[in-house]
Amino acid sequence: MTRFATYTTCSLAVAATLGACQRKDEPGSEFAAGVPRTSTIAMSVAAGNSNAMTVGDTSAPSLGPVSEWYLTTRNVTGTVNGAALAVGGLVKLVTDYPVTTVSGDTAVWGPWQGPLDPVEWKVTVTRIAPHQYQYSFDGRDKTQPSSAFITILSGAHSPGLDVQGNEMEGFGSGSFTLDWNARATLPEPDANVGSASYTYSHTGPAEITTIAAQFRQVKDDQQPGKLVDVDYAFMQNPGADGSMDFLYNVPANTTSAGGLGKVKSRWLWSGAGRSDVTVTTTDSALTYTLSECWDVSYVSVYKVVPLSTSATDNYGSQSLCAFPTADYSQL
């Protein structure tokens, strides 16, 4: 599975230099609506007792032998949510600190220079129409103050509106791109390469959440030295069922061949769910399927791997599944 460390925005040292927190009545404070909140763009897998595990939740369920594919799905959402955490760093700057300058429909935070940060940062938010914003997070080497700023993170956001037409914090739709290759041109980059592009829609508490993410030419921790393209698609009905499609490198074992898996996981808000997987072997000589279902305690209640005769790969009854028939990913 591909993993990403995405704290590539600014350091806490920069945040410490910004001064007092922003008040809602200060000039330019309305531009804070122009960036998405982390909760708007974070994928979450339903947990038991009608709770949702969201970005940053790595706790394991406490009951029974946990379904392998439930854990895989949950771990993948945590991986993809890394980019949401990076956006969360931008959001904190824009919402917690006073705007530096406002000119017409454009607000700028910064440029800032943290005493221990080799990069000078700024955030720009522009209102392009009523309830429509564009934003960018830019940096440059602070030892070269005449050099151009380089955009690390950019996007567009439209806040969700309530029945009175007021902008709602934590809801909206839009898109953004996080560019690790651009970050690598600035001092002290991390080990990430490639880019991540997201589109999302979560316009209100009663509305469906949809998130699509495309990672391009990023590192794969299971294939050292190889760069891969990976797509993800997430959907969650409020307080109801959800689904996630993703690609996964399935390791080989004594009973099945490894390869690239296309996974579709579905779940009820109670926590019960199902994963259906199509695996193409590493040498592309064979394609096979597997399915697993889990109950509200995440215990595996049904598993089938048609090409395997092992009892550990085939057990239970499909009648125990929250979703009684297979549904394979179209990624």
Q: pLDDT tens digits, residue range 226-241?
A: 888 889 999 999 888 9
Q: Please answer whether residues 138 and 149 qualify as being in contact, where contact means their C-beta atoms are separated by less than 8 angstroms.
A: yes
Q: Rounded distance, CA 103 to CA 280, Å?
A: 55
User: How close are the terminal C-alpha atoms of the chain, in Å?
Assistant: 16
* Confidence bin at 54 (pLDDT 50/70/90): very low
Q: Is residue 267 part of a domain?
A: no
Q: Which comes out higher in pLDDT, residue 76 or 113?
A: 76
- Across the range 165-183, mean pLDDT stands at 94
Q: Which domain holds residue 138?
A: 24-241
Q: Is residue 293 part of a domain?
A: no
Report long-range pairs for 55-60 (Cβ below 8 Å, ≥24 apart): 55/81, 55/84, 55/85, 56/81, 56/85
Mean pLDDT of the chain: 84
The pLDDT score that the predictor gives to residue 65 is 81
Q: Is the pLDDT of residue 12 over 60?
A: no
Instruction: Count the neighbouring beta carbons within 10 Å of the beta carbon of residue 290.
Output: 23
Q: Is residue 263 part of a domain?
A: no
Q: Is the pLDDT of residue 246 over 80?
A: yes
Q: Rounded distance, CA 86 to CA 80, Å?
A: 11
* Confidence bin at 71 (pLDDT 50/70/90): very high
- SS3 call for 247: strand
Q: Is residue 254 part of a domain?
A: no
Q: Is residue 270 part of a domain?
A: no
Total of domains in the chain: 1
Q: Is the pLDDT of residue 160 over 50?
A: yes
Q: Which comes out higher in pLDDT, residue 112 or 262?
A: 262
Q: Is residue 134 part of a domain?
A: yes
Q: Is residue 271 part of a domain?
A: no
Give the model confidence (pLDDT) of 266-309 as tens digits.
999 899 999 999 988 877 778 889 999 999 999 999 999 988 88
The pLDDT score that the predictor gives to residue 256 is 63
